[in-house]
């Protein structure tokens, strides 16, 4: 362990439980060298802004060496920074600056697959007998030359790609340039854990584990069964993708993954205060997988939940159903909730929310049991940007255009001001065009405006942090329908009543039986009357027992 990791100060090793993580997509956050692409130095420059929000940690999407066919999620060297983002020295400076500001640093580990440009794959494909011949998933063709089975890629088409060098197919759950590693090989597991240790020794505080349930495949390469049309959803892939036509029993979420995740957690436990959140891409059994992956102190700390990343509008009834199902199934585990990220349409657009609704749902997100991920620009109320086909970068969007426009609309540059053509992101033409409508929501406009979305997020994050019951407490839904939801949060001897008016009409609220008082620290409006409490449309209230601690 190097000196940086040894001297890292951790005041609360349980910081992740109830913590708020701010996702930074480095290509689009801040360009510091005028090439139109964000970089690590740009992040360093903007860290005081992130710290001012009141979040606990940043999560940086991949910055490793990569040919960038999937923008960093196709790694060619796990132990180095891609030159477009900077150097290892820049990353060490980023960690130091973040820690000085009280921010943890989590990085995105993409362990399930590499780039075809990785030296491991180049060696593996060179013959069937080299030292790394089975570091990837290779299989012979069927007698008619077709792929080994019916597995599909999330990016469309077969999950198998023919390689003329080895005269075999290799597995790729994503792009053909992203071959899957063979986790059944112990050497592969050892090397990936060694890479994890490499970044822990450099002082990182944790990891977001990309596609954590894709690590293992079925050794027998059995066909996936079809999925009934009524059971299909678009939680993992858009509706236009035939990936949804299968029940993915054999190409992912295999039982062997449990043992590997225990090895991963044991490694993190050598570095007190570190944590991991796993991204579970599983449409049919998502919560069951979360339960398996977070049960006990020897598994992942938490899983990144997809429930609110889907298209379904979060009515009170819908939210209550998710919470009650989670309490039932993931009773021993911990969730990390999110509305938006770099892979989905921004939730302001996805759910067609006005500004008051955005604030209300942000308050709801920060009141749930679990940790929270916020995606850059969410705190500004950014909508999904329209990116013309000629400017499109995402291979996913190019594959399914125009019914699915890809992920670029959520990845456009962050608007810092409206004083320059590119919103303060870069002096050069950005890699994706900045949305004109985003300039009116720039940080400069919102920074000093008391009622702005930005300052609402700051106020709500401050309110959350002031109440341990919101950070670490249990949750019990009291009432819910399409127009409202209320629940109790409980932690040790503390309680809090939370009520959300999800409708466009006012309602009268009565507090639970007993002696309660309204906490006026939350950034919402209400009016107390003789008949009860008048709660205007899209507002919330929080109440505390008068005779107990908060």
* E strand intervals along 344-436: 371-375
What is d(CA 192, CA 186) in angstroms, rounded to the nearest whole number?
10
**Which three-class secondary structure state does DSSP give residue 334?**
coil
- Taking the C-alpha atoms of residue 438 and residue 416, their distance in angstroms, rounded to an integer, is 9
Which 3 state secondary structure label does DSSP give 350? helix
DSSP secondary structure, 182-243, as one string: -TTSHHHHHHHHHHHHHHHHTT--EEEETTGGGS---TT-PPPPB--GGG--SSSS-TTSGG
Cα distance between residue 88 and residue 204, in whole Å: 13
- Select which of 210, 305, 408, 495 is catalytic: 210
Burial 421-436 (b: 16+ CB within 10 A, else e): ebbbbbeeebbbbbbe
Helix (H, G, I), strand (E, B) or coil at 105: strand
The edge-to-edge listing of strands for the beta sheet with 168-171 is 138-139, 168-171, 160-163
Asked if 270 is an active-site residue, the reply is yes
Q: For residues 118 and 75, what is the distance between their CA atoms, to the nearest angstrom?
A: 7
Inter-CA distances, 341 with 45, 493, 511, 520, Å: 22, 35, 35, 31
Tokens matching residue 351: 């759910």
Would strands 302-304 and 275-279 be described as parallel, antiparallel, or unpaired? Answer: parallel
Q: Catalytic residue among 12, 270, 481, 515, which? A: 270
**DSSP structure string for 230-280:** GG--SSSS-TTSGGGGB--SSSS--TTHHHHHHHHHHHHHTSTT-EEEEE-
Alpha carbons 212 and 528: distance in angstroms, whole number: 48
How far is residue 230's CA from residue 228's CA, in Å, rounded to a whole number?
A: 5
Cis-peptide into 228, omega within 30 deg: no
Least Cα distance to 446 among 434, 436, 458 occurs for 458
Please give the Cα distance from 421 to 291 (Å, whole number): 47
**Residue whose C-alpha is closest to residue 104's, from 26, 32, 11, 212:** 11
Structure letter (DSSP) for residue 390: G
Place of tokens 């060619």: 76
Which residues are within 8 A (CB) of 382 and not within 5 positions of it... i.e. 6 or more apart?
A: 346, 348, 415, 435, 438, 441
Q: Which residues are known catalytic residues?
A: 210, 270
């Amino acid at each position: 362990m190097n000196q940086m990791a040894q001297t890292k100060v951790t005041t609360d090793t349980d910081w992740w439980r109830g913590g708020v993580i701010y996702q930074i997509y480095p290509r689009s956050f801040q360009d510091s060298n005028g090439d139109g692409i964000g970089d690590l130095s740009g992040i360093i420059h903007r860290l005081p802004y992130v710290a001012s929000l009141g979040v606990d940690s940043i999560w940086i999407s991949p910055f490793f060496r990569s040919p960038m066919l999937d923008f960093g999620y196709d790694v060619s060297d796990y132990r180095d920074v891609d030159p477009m983002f900077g150097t290892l020295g820049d990353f060490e400076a980023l960690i130091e600056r973040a820690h000085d500001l009280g921010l943890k640093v989590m990085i995105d580990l993409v362990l399930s697959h590499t780039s075809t440009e990785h030296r491991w794959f180049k060696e593996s494909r060179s013959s069937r007998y080299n030292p790394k011949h089975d570091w990837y998933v290779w299989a012979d063709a069927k007698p008619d030359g077709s792929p080994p089975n019916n597995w599909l890629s999330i990016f469309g088409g077969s999950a198998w790609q023919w390689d003329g060098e080895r005269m075999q197919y290799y597995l790729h759950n994503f792009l053909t340039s992203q071959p899957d590693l063979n986790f059944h090989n112990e050497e592969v597991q050892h090397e990936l854990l060694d890479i994890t240790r490499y970044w822990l020794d450099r002082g990182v505080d944790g990891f977001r584990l990309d596609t954590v349930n894709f690590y293992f495949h079925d050794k027998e390469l059995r066909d996936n069964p079809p999925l009934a049309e009524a059971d299909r959803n678009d939680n993992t892939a858009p509706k236009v993708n035939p990936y949804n036509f299968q029940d993915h029993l054999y190409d992912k979420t295999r039982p062997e993954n449990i043992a590997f995740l225990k090895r991963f957690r044991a490694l993190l436990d050598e570095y007190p205060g570190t944590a991991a959140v796993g991204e579970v891409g599983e449409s049919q059994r998502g919560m069951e997988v979360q339960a398996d992956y977070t049960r006990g102190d020897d598994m992942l700390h938490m899983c990144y939940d997809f429930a609110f990343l889907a298209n379904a509008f979060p009515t009170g009834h819908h939210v209550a159903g998710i919470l009650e199902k989670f309490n039932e199934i993931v009773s021993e585990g911990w969730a990390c909730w999110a509305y938006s990220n770099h892979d989905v349409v921004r939730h302001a657009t996805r759910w067609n929310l006005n500004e008051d609704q955005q604030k209300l749902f942000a308050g709801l997100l920060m009141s749930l049991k679990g940790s929270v991920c916020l995606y850059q620009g969410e705190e500004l109320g950014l909508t999904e940007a329209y990116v013309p086909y000629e400017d499109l970068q995402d291979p996913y969007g190019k594959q399914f255009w125009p019914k699915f426009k890809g992920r670029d609309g959520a990845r456009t540059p962050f608007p810092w001001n409206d004083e320059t053509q590119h919103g303060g992101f870069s002096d050069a033409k950005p890699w994706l065009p900045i949305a004109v409508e985003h300039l009116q929501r720039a940080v400069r406009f919102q920074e000093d405006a008391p009622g702005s979305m930005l300052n609402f997020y700051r106020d709500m994050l401050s309110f959350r942090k002031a109440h341990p019951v919101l950070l670490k407490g249990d949750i019990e839904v009291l009432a819910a329908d399409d127009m409202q939801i209320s629940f109790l949060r409980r932690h040790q001897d503390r309680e809090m009543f939370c009520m959300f008016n999800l409708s466009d009409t006012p309602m009268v609220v009565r507090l639970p039986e007993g002696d309660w008082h309204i906490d006026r620290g939350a950034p919402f409006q209400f009016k107390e009357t003789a008949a009860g409490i008048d709660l205007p449309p899209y507002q919330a209230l929080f109440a505390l027992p008068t005779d107990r601690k908060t």
